[in-house]
Every structure is written in structure tokens, then in C-alpha cells.
Amino acid sequence: MRLLKALFGTPGNALVSLLLLAFLGWLGQALLLWAFRAEWRVVVENLPYFFVGQLPRDQVPRLVGFLGFLALGLLGWLGGLRVVRVWVPRPRLLFLLGLLGSLLLLPWPPTLWGGLLLSFLLSGAAMLLAFPLGVALAFGRQARLPVLRLLAIAFIEGVRGVPLVSLLFLAFVTVPLFLPEGLRLPQVVRALVAFTLFAAAYLAENVRGGLQAVPKGQWEAAFSLGLTPFQAVRYVILPQALRAVVPALVGQYIALFKDTSLVALIGLLDLMGMARAVLANPQNVGLEREVYLFLALVYLLVSGSFSYLGRLLERGLGLGVR
């Protein structure tokens, strides 16, 4: 009743609502008619390339095993967090088993990484590597030592002040200069360096916001119990700070996952790069709408899934509940 009253409570609201409904109906009908006439063969025929790139089909079971062990490791990690209401028997063993199994099954040649698999690997590895660096930068920015504080501020503001695509091109040009002569890193590794530095700068600011939300009395209480500064940070301060910024961290990972589409500009065949490669086939000329609509749905589904998992984690941590 409230919705109907808000939409049709006055003549002006009723007129605007009817016009919007008519426009949405016309748009929906047009989209449905186009969807029935569209040539979806370009998506169906190239579906494996969109998801796993040039990975040989006999390696798909290995990929399934990698994802399965990775899921076990994640479940074990969640079970090890006492504040999360997930009961898992032997969480540490499950975490170590999942991590070890996923690492043993991972090492495909980087040249075979592509499609949605590359997007997941880049965003996940970058977030994992950026986490300790971002936490260190967050504490460094609040350090009493001026040199350490200035270095942390210079890194954070310097990285946040430039677009990600410029860091990608910079990594491709400058990283080889610091390597021994004759040693060349794969393009994927150089892109990972850029994503890690970019994610660490933004993660540092998120963690710093969480640290500021922790009352100073928590430090005093930790020291009164005889804890060392490192123990106080590990057991008292950092868990509270991270708990407060879980929504921001989930949002950052979703944004980082979508930003992996920029690697198509430097020749890597992620999900977006694979779409460009498929459309380069003369047989697929004029089918851009089908391909890019499919990509939009994939990005929407993945981002929505991580957003839902983030809400589950927030609910398990009791965020927003007093």
C-alpha cells in the first residue's frame, strides 16, 4: 500500500509512474525481441575460451580440483575464525590441506592463463599479496617515526594519484630494469605486480579507517594485560579493525576483479581480452552486442555472488547488530 501510495498518491506522481512503466515495458519488449533474433552461437561456440582461455581441455579436471581445494581452504579459514558462525571440524588442517592441494594443482604455464580464470587468478593473488603490505602501510602511516610515516604516505598517495592503467604500462617497462640480464618475467607476473601495488595502497586506507575506529582504551587494556606491542596488534587491535572494514574490503575486491579487464590493453587475454580475440574472427563480425552483453552478465553474476558472500560474512561477524 505504501508503494502504491508513493507511485500514484498524487496526479503528478501517477503520470510520472505511468510514463516510466510504459517506457520500461517498451524497453523490455524490445530487448526480448532482440534476444530471440540474436545469434548466440558466437557465445556457445566460444564458451570454453571465455572461461578458461587456451587451457587444454584435458587440464579442465585439474582446474576443477584446484578450485575444489581452494574452496576447502577458504572453508577451513572461515572455520578458524571464532567470530564467524561456521562450524568446521579441524579447521586448521582443512585450511592447510586446501592451500597445499591448490598450490600443487596450480602451476600451469602462465601463457595458458586466460578468460575468466585469469581474471580470478589476478584479482585473488593481488588481493592476497596486497593484504600484508596494505596492513604494514596502514600502521606505517600512523607511525611516530617521521621517516617511516612519510614513506608510507608517499607510497599510498603516489599510487592512488595515478590510474591503474598507467601502473600496468609502468610495470611492463620498469620491472625488467630491476631484473638480471636475460631474465624475463611473464606478462602475467608483471601485471600482478601492478595490481598488488595498486590494491595495497587502497587497502592501507581501508585498514587505517578501521584502526581509527578502535578506541584508544583497547591499546591501554592490552598493555595492562602485559602484552607486547606486536601481541596487542595481533590479538586485540587488528581483529577489531579488520572486522569494522569488512564491507570496504569486499567492495575493494569486487572493484579489483572488474579492473582486471584493463589487462586486455596490454595484450593479455582475460575475459575482456578473449572477447576481443573472438570478435576478431571474420565469422563473428557484427556480433559485438551478443558478446558484450554476455560479458556484462558474467561480471554481474560474479560481482553479485561476491557481494552476497560478503553479506554472509558480515552477518557471521555480527556487523550492524548490537
Does the pTM exceed 0.85?
A: no
Number of domain units in the chain: 3
61 with 144, same domain: the answer is no
Domain residue limits at 2:
1-37
Question: Residue 149 has which C-alpha cell?
Answer: 610515516
Is 73 domain-assigned? Answer: yes
Determine the average pLDDT of the residues in 171-181.
75
pLDDT above 60 (res 320): no
Question: Residue 195 has which C-alpha cell?
Answer: 595490481
pLDDT of residue 216: 84
Mean pLDDT of the chain: 80
18 with 48, same domain: the answer is no
Determine the average pLDDT of the residues in 145-158.
89
203: exposed, middle or buried (Cβ count in 10 Å: 0-12, 13-18, 19+)? buried
Is 44 domain-assigned? Answer: yes
Reported as a single tens digit per residue, the pLDDT across 36-94 is 777 788 888 888 888 887 777 777 777 777 777 777 777 666 666 554 555 666 667 76
> Band of the pLDDT at 200, cuts 50, 70, 90?
very high
71 with 87, same domain: the answer is yes
Alpha carbon separation from 311 to 118, 179, 246 (Å, rounded): 25, 42, 9
Supply the CATH number for residue 155's domain. 1.10.3720.10
Question: Residue 81 has which C-alpha cell?
Answer: 575464525
- Looking at the DSSP bridge assignments, the partners of residue 270 are 115
Q: How far apart are CA 253 and CA 240, in angstroms?
A: 20
Q: Are 136 and 208 in contact (CB under 8 A)?
A: no
Q: How far apart are CA 204 and CA 132, in angstroms?
A: 9
Is 322 domain-assigned? Answer: no
258 with 222, same domain: the answer is yes
280 with 132, same domain: the answer is yes
Reported as a single tens digit per residue, the pLDDT across 121-138 is 888 888 888 988 999 999
Cα of 204 vs its chain's centroid, Å: 16
